Each structure stands twice: as structure tokens, then as C-alpha cells.
């Protein structure tokens, strides 16, 4: 058996060399996209009278047969044929005979593989957007139920100011909304057809690249054949967007891991998304959250890998580009799996709102309220900040909280303080009053929920 490209060669490669150079082990995932691209290409060749109607009919019928076998997992690929393109051509030859060789007229594996990956990523990005919306829906559902549930807000992982639980959850909603926008915008670069660019310089045959693009549902055609076969920006953009998405999921997972600990007890993660210890019977570990946090690293690694491959490549196609696929496939699997886990884990999560509220009552996160209270009474804010800091120091020394200080102590530091200071120091009051746009005030959060709902599917 000779290579489909082997006419120029006198020697054949050793089996281990074939094994090293082959991509069929992973690019078999592109089987349906490759068949789809071939059907469109052959159809266009027929319309341009490059192939006869009978030849087109035979090839298309054979390709459709292979597609059915692929869907039934009945195709066997051979490393000798290197990649999905040559394997399918060899299988098509078995189905319909020598006419199969005409399928590759006016086409190179260079534009063929690029077309396959554009088709593949276009579908995977749309699926990823659906996955993001599932996580957003889970966040929205909990936020809608917890507008007036309050919890400590943190900066530097230190108690800062009390906030609405809904407000905290919606922060991640909007991060994911930006992720969704980035993926949606990337479709403009993915939705382009390289088919017909040939190896690098186009072809002498009178093909119609716009027609084959139309048959494949692409919105645009690459205007430069060199760029068409060597561009991997669309994959890099996907990997970059995926890295940002995974970073956001990882940040939330870090909080969920903390919140589920004995030190916080803010949430309980469902048993479905937890595991135990082989040694310690009492343990309930947030392993799915930890895995999502960890998997963010492999996605970023895939991005760095392809950036490193691309940075030194001259035009046009180089064999290095074979290394573009495994990281892409792995990222798709990792991202979609992580989104499914996150949507289910968030939806099934229990929030201990009373514990969260109690946490806001045993700290100094209401110190800003005292400073604002004094400022509203006419004291310059910088002076109010100093007075409040002095009182906080006094409380620490006396092992008290601001709400426990007697009115006399307040008035000894400022005559502006009256009995209404205790209402101002209430965590609920502190949250409720912050109704600037985008703030954590209950009315402001309800506006935010309305805006959030507009960015979800109609069933949300």
C-alpha cells in the first residue's frame, strides 16, 4: 500500500516514523466536519463543471455512507494514512472505487484541515455559550431569592462591608456575561471559510469559493490564500476566551471552597458534587469545585502552548500546525465539562443565610457606616475616618463591637453622635442604603436582576 502523496518518494518511512507524524489518533474527532467540507467542495466542483454530475453523485453518496458509519462508530482508521483526510479518502476509495480520487481536485489538506476546524469551533462555541447561560441561570435563580440576605463583603480576604448575597452572586453573573460576549464576538472570526485556498496559492481550476462557503454556512471567505491556510488566530482567540472563562469559574470555586469550610459554614455543597476521604470518615470534600479550579490551569496551558508554536512560524503551512488540535479538543472538553458541573453544583447548593447574617454582626464591617454617619452630620470625612478608627481601636482593646459601645463613649468622641447611630450601624441598614447604581442596596440589586434577566434565555 502506497501513500496517497508518495509518487515523488523512493523510500518509505519506518512504522514508528509514521506513528510519530500521524494525527489520526486525535483528528478523528473531525470526521463529520471533514465529510461535510468534502461534500460542499465536490458539490461546488460539479456546479463549476470541474467534475461531472455522475462523479459528484457517486462521491457524495459515498461520503454520506461514510458519515452514517462514522455516526455508528463503524469506521476503522489506519495510522498509515496519517490523518482524517487521507483516511476518509482511502475509505471512500473502498466504497466507490477510483473516482474517489477526484474528490481532492483543487484542494489541499492545508485548506481542508483549516475548514474542518472552523466548522468544529463554530459549533463548539455556540455550545459553550449555552453552557455559560446555564451557569448564569443558576446564579440568577439564587440571587432572585436572596436580595435581602446579607453577608460579609471582603477585600484582601478581610471583612470590609456587608453586602447582599444576591449582589455577590450577580458579580459572577456579569463576569460570565462578558465571557459570553467574547465568545459571541469571536464567531465573526470563526465564521470564515478557508476552503479553496489550496496549499497556499489558490488553484488554477475555476472554483467558486463563495459558493462552497455558502454551502457550509460560512458568513465570509478569507481574502488571502496564504493567510487562509496558516491562520490559527481563531483557535488562539477561543483558547484565550476559554482561559478567561475558566479563570472566572476558578475564582468562584475558590470562594465556594472557603464558604463550605467549617470556618465559614456559609454554604453546603450537595453530596452529588462532593467526595469523602479514604482515611477520615468525617470528611466531605468540595472536590468538583477544586477540580474546576485546577482545570483552569490546563486551559491556560493550552493557550500558552499554541502561542509558543505560532510565534516562530513563517508563512504558510508548517507541520508544527498539527499541534493546534489536541489543546483545542482538550479545552472544549474541559470547558464544557466544567460549565456542566458548575451549573449543577450551584443549582443544588444550600446557602446558610442566617450564618452569613450573624457573621456581619460580629465584626467591624460597619465602620464605614459610622464614618458616613458622622460625615452626613457635617464632619469632614477625613476627620470622621480618624474618629471611627480611634473608636475601632478602643473596641478591640475592650473586646467590644461598635454596636455595643454606650452612647456616652460615642459622644465623648463627637457631639454629633445621637441615639440614631445604632440604627445606622445595623448591617441590614448598611446594605439597604447603598442604592447607587450598581450598588448592593436592595432596590439597586432588584434593578440589577431585571437587567440580568434580559441577558438570559426566555425560559429563565
The DSSP bridge pattern shows strands 220-221 and 192-193 to be parallel
Catalytic (active site) residue 149: no
Q: Provide the grid cell at 430.
A: 448598611
Q: Which of 25, 261, 277, 340 is catalytic?
A: 277
Dist CA 150 CA 442 (whole Å): 10
Number of Cβ atoms within 10 Å of the Cβ of 433:
17
CB 269 within 8 Å of CB 287: no
Q: Which of 156, 278, 436, 459 is catalytic?
A: 156
Greatest C-alpha distance within the chain:
101
Work out whether the CA dihedral 207, 209, 215, 216 comes out positive or negative. positive
Half-sphere exposure of 275 toward its Cβ, with a 13 Å CA cutoff?
8
Q: Provide the grid cell at 113.
A: 484541515
CB 273 within 8 Å of CB 289: yes
CB 100 within 8 Å of CB 134: no
Dist CA 118 CA 428 (whole Å): 52
Of residues 153, 266, 112, 241, the one with CA closest to residue 189: 241
Of residues 296, 320, 164, 323, the one with CA closest to residue 242: 296
Catalytic (active site) residue 104: no
Q: Any idea which residues carry the catalytic annotation?
A: 156, 277
Amino acid at each position: 500500500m502506497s501513500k496517497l502523496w508518495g509518487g515523488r518518494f523512493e523510500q518509505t518511512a519506518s512504522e514508528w516514523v509514521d506513528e510519530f507524524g500521524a494525527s489520526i489518533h486525535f483528528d478523528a474527532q473531525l470526521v463529520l466536519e471533514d465529510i461535510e467540507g468534502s461534500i460542499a467542495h465536490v458539490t461546488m466542483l460539479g456546479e463549476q463543471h470541474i467534475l461531472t454530475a455522475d462523479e459528484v453523485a457517486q462521491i457524495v453518496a459515498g461520503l454520506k455512507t461514510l458519515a452514517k458509519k462514522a455516526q455508528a462508530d463503524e469506521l476503522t482508521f489506519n495510522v498509515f494514512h496519517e490523518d482524517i483526510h487521507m483516511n476518509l479518502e482511502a475509505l471512500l476509495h473502498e466504497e466507490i472505487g477510483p473516482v474517489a480520487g477526484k474528490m481532492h481536485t483543487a484542494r489541499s489538506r492545508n485548506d481542508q484541515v483549516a475548514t474542518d476546524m472552523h466548522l468544529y469551533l463554530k459549533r463548539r462555541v455556540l455550545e459553550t455559550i449555552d453552557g455559560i447561560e446555564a451557569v448564569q441561570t443558576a446564579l440568577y435563580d439564587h440571587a432572585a431569592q436572596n436580595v435581602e440576605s446579607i453577608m460579609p463583603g471582603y477585600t484582601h480576604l478581610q471583612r470590609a462591608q456587608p453586602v447582599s448575597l444576591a449582589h455577590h452572586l450577580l458579580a459572577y453573573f456579569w463576569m460570565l456575561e462578558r465571557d459570553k460576549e467574547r465568545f459571541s464576538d469571536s464567531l465573526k472570526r470563526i465564521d470564515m471559510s478557508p476552503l479553496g485556498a489550496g496549499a497556499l496559492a489558490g488553484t488554477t481550476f475555476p472554483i467558486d469559493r463563495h459558493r462552497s462557503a455558502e454551502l457550509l454556512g460560512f458568513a465570509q471567505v478569507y481574502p488571502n490564500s496564504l493567510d487562509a491556510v496558516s491562520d490559527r488566530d481563531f483557535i488562539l482567540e477561543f483558547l484565550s476566551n476559554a482561559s478567561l472563562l475558566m479563570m472566572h469559574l476558578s475564582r468562584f470555586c475558590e470562594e465556594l471552597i472557603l464558604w463550605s469550610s467549617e470556618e465559614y459554614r456559609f454554604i453546603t455543597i450537595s453530596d452529588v458534587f462532593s467526595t469523602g476521604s479514604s482515611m477520615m470518615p468525617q470528611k466531605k470534600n468540595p472536590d468538583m469545585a477544586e477540580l474546576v479550579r485546577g482545570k483552569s490551569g490546563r486551559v491556560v496551558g493550552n493557550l500558552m502552548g499554541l502561542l509558543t508554536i505560532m510565534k516562530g512560524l513563517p508563512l504558510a503551512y508548517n507541520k508544527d500546525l498539527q499541534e493546534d488540535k489536541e489543546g483545542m479538543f482538550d479545552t472544549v472538553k474541559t470547558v464544557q465539562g466544567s460549565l456542566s458541573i458548575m451549573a449543577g453544583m450551584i443549582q443544588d447548593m444550600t446557602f446558610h443565610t442566617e450564618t452569613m447574617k450573624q457573621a456581619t454582626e460580629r465584626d467591624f464591617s460597619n465602620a464605614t457606616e459610622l464614618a458616613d454617619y458622622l460625615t452626613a452630620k457635617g464632619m469632614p470625612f477625613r476627620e470622621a475616618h480618624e474618629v471611627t478608627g480611634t473608636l475601632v481601636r478602643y473596641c478591640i482593646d475592650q473586646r467590644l463591637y461598635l454596636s455595643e459601645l454606650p452612647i456616652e463613649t460615642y459622644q465623648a468622641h463627637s457631639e454629633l453622635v445621637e441615639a440614631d447611630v445604632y440604627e445606622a450601624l445595623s448591617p441590614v441598614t448598611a446594605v439597604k442604603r447603598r442604592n447607587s447604581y450598581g450598588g448592593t442596596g436592595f432596590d439597586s440589586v432588584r434593578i440589577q436582576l431585571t437587567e440580568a434577566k434580559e441577558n438570559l434565555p426566555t425560559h429563565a
